[in-house]
Each structure stands twice: as C-alpha cells, then as structure tokens.
Amino acid sequence: MSSPFGLHRVVEPAGVLPQQAWRLSTEDRTWPDEVVVDVEVLNLDAASYRQLREQHGEPEKVRRAVLDIVTERGKMHNPVTGSGGMLLGTVRAAGPESPLGLKPGDRIATLVSLTLTPLRIDDELASWSGESEQVPCRGTAVLFGRSIAAVLPDDLPDELALSVLDVCGAPALTDRVVREAGVEPSVLVLGGGGKSGSLSLAAARRAGAGRLVALVPTQAEADAVRASGLADDVVLADARDPVAVSEAVGTPVDVTVVCVDVPGCEHGAVLATADGGTIIFFSMATSFSAAALGAEGLAADVRMLIGNGYVPGHATFALDLLRTTPGVRDLFERRERQTPP
C-alpha cells in the first residue's frame, strides 16, 4: 500500500520519512495516489547552488555533481547543505486516487522541497551550463498524496508567479488569524515592504483588519509602501530593537505578523502585541527559545504561532491577492527591478 507521505518510496534507511531518507526509489511503477511529472526546470535552492559552486568550481563539474547526487539519492538533496529547491514541469499522469486535483497537461510548480521529491534525470542535464540555479532538465518526478503543487497561471510571468508561490503560506495564515481575531482587529506587519509582508498586508485588509500598520527599516521602503496604499500607517524602525518597535507602533496591536528575515525580532513583536493578541512568526530566522523566553520575561499573554507554510488553498489565494491588489504587484515588481539577476 502507498503512503500519502511517500514512505513507500523510501529505499534507505527503511522506516524514515522521504526527507530524512538517503535514497528514494524512482521506479516507473506508480501508485494510485501518485502524480507523475515531466520535469522542465529545477530551481536549486540558493544555498545549495552556492555550496556546489564553492566545492566544485568549474560549471561542468557542478553539472556532474548535481547529476551524481540525483543518481545516487533519487532526489536533488544536497548532502552538505541539506537543502533542495523546487521544480517546474507538466503533469504526465495523475493516479485515480490522487487528491491533488491535477490532470495531465497541467503546468505546475512543486511547493514541497526537492529533498523529498523522487526525481530521475533523463537527459544528463545536457541543456544546463552549470552556471545558474535554474536547471533546464528533461526528467521524471513523483508527487505523493500529501505533496503540494500549484498550477502555474496563464496570465502572469513564470518568475512573478514563482516569487508569489514561494511565500504563499504567509497571506493564507494571516487571513485565517485575522478573521478569528474578532471585529476589525488592529494588525502590524514587521517587514511590510517585502514579498511575504506585502501579501500579508493585503490579506489582513481583505480579512477585515482595523488599523493596519507596516513597519519597515528604510525611508525608501517606507515611501514605496506608502505609495502602495497597503497600510494605514507606515512606521520606520529597526525590527531588532524592541523598544524602538514598541514606540514606533504605539498602541499595541491585536495581531502581529513577523516577515523580517533577520534574527532578533522576537522581543519587538512581543512588546508590540496586546495581551490576548497573536503573533505569527513567518521569518525562518525566528528563534524558538527567544520567542518563548521573551514572552515569559515580559509576562506577555500572547499566542505565538509558528508560521506553517501550508494552508489549504494558499497558492490560489496568494495569486489572487496579487492580481486584485495593485499595490502588491507594484512592490513585487519594484523588488524584481532591484534584485540583480
């Protein structure tokens, strides 16, 4: 019997989850709840690609290293960094018991890591120079019953859609928490000018937020968020300075969403949140112990959520926010212009 978590594809060591496994099976036999994907592009995780470049130097050797990893492990799971990436492809076949709602011909992006996705490469990566994280690739990948994949929209450039999908858990969970928080709760987004931050602002507004505050680190970013119209108040402070955050925000808010990807933002979030309020930590730089001990040290009766990247319907929800909120798209396109290729 197949497992929705892919246990049936684990070759070694036996009995662990696919992400922990050293090697996955890429055998052609497919199970009734699996989806088979014709791979088009692998997007290597930035940390993984950097490590491979540092270790192997020449692009041709980097190409060979990726091939070797996938051949040996049955997945693109960098053994040094522990990270993977995601892929783009087209659905070849969807098993009769797959709950993912995909059909042959759908162009999709996987939203679960390559570190748990069975992958076989069929073209020796002949079209990849080894000089970019974007790896053109002919190959076969498998999605499990509990995998997550999003159908790529026709009306948006791939790059823009992928950058929304990358952070789509944040607006979906913000939506849920703001709706649960009562009538017109006040909401603060730390890092409101970023990708997850701007989507979270738009989600909070749509979910019925009252006063909506964006905290940003620079005047330029403050100007951009003000121009976007996504927040009622835009305040300037270093999110790592709890006293500065608290003074900038003023009256503590009902819901705080942390989207600043630097360590040390836990205490500011606690101070800025009213008793009985909720903090959602989306930043992967969050320290569990700093949050737990910080709230205790401040005797703050706040509910603190670990931002789960998965909420049902999150991809559709985030893409729809981008389409219907001009300010969000403006901020995304501003960032793209600023990021070197």
222 or 271: CB nearest its own copies = 271
Sequence-ordered alpha helix ranges (H) in the chain: 46-56, 59-73, 158-165, 169-180, 195-206, 219-228, 242-249, 266-272, 288-297, 314-324, 326-338
Part in contact with its own copies (CB under 8 A); list of ranges 47-55, 90-98, 111-119, 327-335 = 111-119
Q: Which of 40, 309, 316, 320 binds its own copies (CB under 8 A)?
A: 309
Instruction: Report the residue from 164, 215, 291, 315 that binds its own copies according to the rule CB under 8 A.
Output: 291
Binding-site string for its own copies from residue 244 to residue 283, where x marks contact by CB under 8 A and - marks none: x----------------------x---x---------x--
Q: Tell whether residue 72 is a contact of its own copies (CB under 8 A).
A: no
- Min dist CB 68 to its own copies, Å, is 24
Q: Token digits for 149?
A: 């994949």
> Residue 217 corresponds to which tokens in the numbers above?
């680190």
* H-type alpha helices, 151-194: 158-165, 169-180
Q: Which of 225, 159, 166 is nearest to 198 (CA)?
A: 225
Give min distance, CB of 231 to its own copies, in A. 25
Binding of its own copies by 227 (CB under 8 A)? no
CA distance 33 to 98: 4
By C-beta, is 46 or 298 nearer to its own copies?
A: 298
In angstroms, give the least distance from the CB of 235 to its own copies.
17
Task: Rank residues 40 and 166 by Cβ distance to its own copies and give the closer one.
Answer: 166
- Shortest Cβ 266–its own copies spacing (Å): 9
Q: Per CB under 8 A, does 112 bind its own copies?
A: yes
Considering only residues 2-61, where is the footprint of its own copies by CB under 8 A?
5, 7, 15-17, 19-20
Six-digit token string for 302: 């706040």
Of 140-199, binders to its own copies (CB under 8 A) are 146-148, 169
The first and second tokens of residue 126, run together, are: 């002949």
297 binds its own copies (CB under 8 A): yes
* N-to-C CA span, the chain: 45
* Integer Cα distance of 301 and 274 in angstroms: 8
Query: Of 243, 281, 247, 248, which is closest to residue 262 (Cα–Cα)?
Result: 281
- Alpha-carbon distance of 118 to 68, in angstroms, equals 14
Q: Name the packing angle between helices 195-206 and 158-165 (round to 10°).
A: 70
Residue 208 touches its own copies, criterion: CB under 8 A: no
- What does the alpha-carbon distance between residue 86 and residue 181 come to, in Å, rounded to a whole number? 34
Characterize 278-296 residue by residue with b for buried, 16 or more Cβ atoms within 10 angstroms of its Cβ, and e for exposed. Answer: bbbbbbeebeeeebeebbe
Task: Give min distance, CB of 281 to its own copies, in A.
Answer: 7
Q: Is the peptide bond before 79 cis (omega within 30 degrees of 0)?
A: no
Among 26, 43, 78, 113, which residue sits at the site for its own copies (rule: CB under 8 A)? 113
CB of 279 to its own copies, least distance (A): 9
**Binding region for its own copies (CB under 8 A) out of 60-68, 102-110, 214-222, 298-306:** 298-306
Size of the site for its own copies (CB under 8 A): 49
Regarding 1 and contact with its own copies (CB under 8 A), the answer is: no
Going by C-alpha positions, the residue among 230, 242, 307, 308 that lies closest to residue 269 is: 242
Interacting span for its own copies (CB under 8 A) from 50-58, 183-191, 207-215, 296-304: 296-304
Name the phi and psi angles at 320, rounded to 5: -65, -40
Is residue 315 part of the contact set for its own copies (CB under 8 A)? no
What minimum distance in Å lies between the beta carbon of 4 and its own copies? 8
- Where on the chain is the footprint of its own copies (CB under 8 A)? 5, 7, 15-17, 19-20, 111-113, 115-116, 146-148, 169, 241-244, 267, 271, 281, 284, 286-289, 291-293, 295-312
